[in-house]
Amino acid sequence: MCPNCFSKEYLKFESFNEFEPVRIQIENSSTLRHIGEHTGGLGKPLFKIFGIGFGGRTDFGFDLYQCEICNEYWKLAEPDYAWRGYLLKASAEDIACVQIQK
């Protein structure tokens, strides 16, 4: 992680206010590059609570970003109602399932 990157990982956003600075950072940064997106829905949830799947890595879509300074990859799922989203470093597996935009 470098100073240009996101300052921390969020396992989930506790509130929309917590997501806001992340959104603004993406909007204003010229060195965080949108690489592509994973639309989700391909993975099977590991277990379900009240009809909502948990544990599957690809249940929800995410956007993949790369820091052009240190080449770190990040995956961002935006919060949406009950879904809290997340911001995490992307694994090679995550990157592999994203359609790279040229």
The binding site for Zn ion (CB under 5 A) comprises 2, 4-5, 67, 69-70, 72
Residue at shortest CB range from Zn ion: 67
Closest approach, Cβ 9 to Zn ion, in A, equals 13
At closest approach, how far in Å is the CB of 53 from Zn ion? 32
Q: 67 vs 77, which CB is nearer to Zn ion?
A: 67
Residue with smaller CB distance to Zn ion, 5 or 77: 5
Compare residues 2 and 42 and give the one whose CB is closer to Zn ion. 2
Long-range CB contact pairs, 87-96, < 8 A, 24+: 87/6, 87/9, 87/10, 87/13, 87/22, 88/9, 88/10, 88/11, 89/9, 90/64, 93/57, 94/38, 94/57, 94/62, 94/64, 95/35, 95/64
